Amino acid sequence: MSKIIPGYDCVAEVRRIREEIAAECDYDWDKIFARLETAPLRFLNSLYISDTK
């Protein structure tokens, strides 16, 4: 594939990061939220994928 699909790599990367965080926290929502509470806002915004784009 010679042409990059706009947004595809970004979406795949965000999903990979989300999965890594969940796995590191043993899929425990309390641990996930505790970790995200201390994360910089810039990082949190990078994990958000808008459905309206």
- Cβ atoms 25, 31 nearer than 8 A: yes
Q: Are 32 and 25 in contact (CB under 8 A)?
A: yes
Taking each helix axis from N to C terminus, what angle separates 8-24 and 29-37, rounded to the nearest 10 degrees?
Answer: 110
Running along the chain, 53 residues long, what does each successive block of 10 average in pLDDT?
Answer: 58 83 94 88 74 53
Are 20 and 47 contacting, i.e. CB atoms less than 8 angstroms apart? no
The pLDDT value recorded for residue 22 is 94
